[in-house]
C-alpha cells in the first residue's frame, strides 16, 4: 500500500521512541502532525508540524485528530508511576485518542507493552492472544489500552493495532533484554508497515526483534507484511551468566517491574 494521503498524528513525539519515529516516518514520505506535552527536541523533520498539547485536554486532542488518517499513539506515562499519575494520560488520555480516531475515521497504532502480560513466567512461550497479566499500574494501563481498542473496533469499526513493545533501546541492556529487545530500526519499519497495510482490523503484534531467546510467538505480523531484521543474539556474550539476586525478577517476563512493590510471601501456583 502507498503512503496514506491523509496525515498521521504522532503522540509522544518528543520522547526517545517518538522522535525516532518522527524522523523515520518523515523520511519514508508520511505527512506528520506531531504532539507532546514537552517541546520537540531539535529541528522538526520535513513534512511535519508540531503542536504542544496535553493528552488529557480533550478539545485539543480532537482538534489535532481532525483530517488525520491514522494516529500513532506513543504518548503518556512510559514507566511505572503511582496510580494517580498513570490515570490521567494513560487512561483518560487514551479515551481522547480513540474518540479522535472515531471522529476522524482514523486507524490507531497503539504503543502497548510487554508489561501488560508481565506476570507470565519466562518458561511459558506466549501467543498474542494470551491472558493479560499486567505487572504494574503502567502495565495495567496498557492492558486497558488493548481492551479499549477492542471496544472501538467492535462498536465503532475503528481499526487498531497494538504493538506490545518489549525493550525498545538502541542496544540490549541486560540478560532479560536478550529475549525482549526491539531495535529502533525494527520498530520504525513495523510502524510504517502498520500504516501502509490495506487493513489491520483489531490485532496485536509482539514488538520484538528476531531474538532466538524470545518468549513470544504467533501474532499479526504476516497480516501487515512485517518481519524483524535485527537480533539481540549478537550481544549475548556481553551478558552471559549475569542475573539479579531477586527470584521474582528472574521468574517473570516483566522482570524487575514484577518485583516492584511485591508483597506476596510466595508466587501463586
Mind telling me the catalytic residues? Answer: 138
Q: Is 141 exposed, middle or buried (0-12, 13-18, 19+ CB in 10 A)?
A: buried
Distance CA 107, CA 221 (A): 17
DSSP result, the chain = -PPPSS-EEEESTTSHHHHHHHHHHHHTT--EEEEESS--SSSPPTTEEEEE--TT-HHHHHHHHTT-SEEEE--S--S---HHHHIIIIIIHHHHHHHHHHHHT-EEEEEEEGGGSTTSBTTS-B-TTSPP---SHHHHHHHHHHHHHHHHHHHH---EEEEEE-EESSS--SSTHHHHEE-HHHHHHHHHHHHHSS---EEEEEE--S-TT--B---SHHHHT------GGGGGGGGTT---S-HHHHHBTTTHHHHTT---SS---
For residue 162, what are the β-bridge partners?
110, 204
Amino acid at each position: 500500500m502507498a503512503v496514506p494521503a491523509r496525515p498521521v498524528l504522532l503522540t509522544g513525539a518528543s520522547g526517545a521512541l517518538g522522535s525516532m519515529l518522527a524522523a523515520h516516518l518523515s523520511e519514508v514520505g508520511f505527512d506528520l502532525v506531531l504532539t507532546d506535552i514537552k517541546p520537540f527536541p531539535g529541528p522538526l523533520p520535513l513534512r511535519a508540524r508540531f503542536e504542544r498539547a496535553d493528552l488529557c485536554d480533550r478539545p485539543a486532542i480532537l482538534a489535532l485528530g481532525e483530517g488525520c488518517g491514522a494516529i500513532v499513539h506513543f504518548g503518556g506515562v512510559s514507566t511505572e508511576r503511582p496510580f494517580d499519575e498513570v490515570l490521567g494520560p494513560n487512561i483518560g488520555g487514551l479515551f481522547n485518542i480513540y474518540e479522535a480516531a472515531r471522529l476522524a475515521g482514523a486507524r490507531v497504532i497503539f504503543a502497548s507493552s510487554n508489561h501488560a502480560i508481565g506476570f507470565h513466567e519466562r518458561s511459558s512461550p506466549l501467543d498474542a492472544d494470551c491472558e493479560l497479566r499486567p505487572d504494574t499500574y503502567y502495565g495495567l494501563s496498557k492492558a486497558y489500552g488493548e481492551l479499549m481498542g477492542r471496544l472501538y473496533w467492535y462498536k465503532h469499526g475503528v481499526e487498531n493495532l497494538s504493538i506490545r513493545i518489549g525493550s525498545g533501546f538502541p542496544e540490549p541492556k541486560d540478560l532479560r533484554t536478550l529475549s525482549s529487545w526491539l531495535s529502533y530500526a525494527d520498530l520504525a519499519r513495523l510502524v510504517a508497515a502498520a500504516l501502509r497495510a490495506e487493513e489491520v482490523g483489531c490485532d496485536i503484534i509482539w514488538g520484538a526483534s528476531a531474538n532466538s531467546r524470545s518468549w513470544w510467538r504467533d501474532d499479526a505480523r504476516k497480516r501487515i507484511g512485517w518481519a524483524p531484521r535485527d537480533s539481540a543474539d549478537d550481544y549475548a556474550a556481553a551478558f552471559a551468566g549475569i542475573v539479579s539476586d531477586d527470584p521474582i525478577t528472574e521468574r517473570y517476563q516483566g522482570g524487575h517491574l514484577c518485583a516492584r512493590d511485591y508483597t506476596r510471601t510466595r508466587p501463586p501456583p
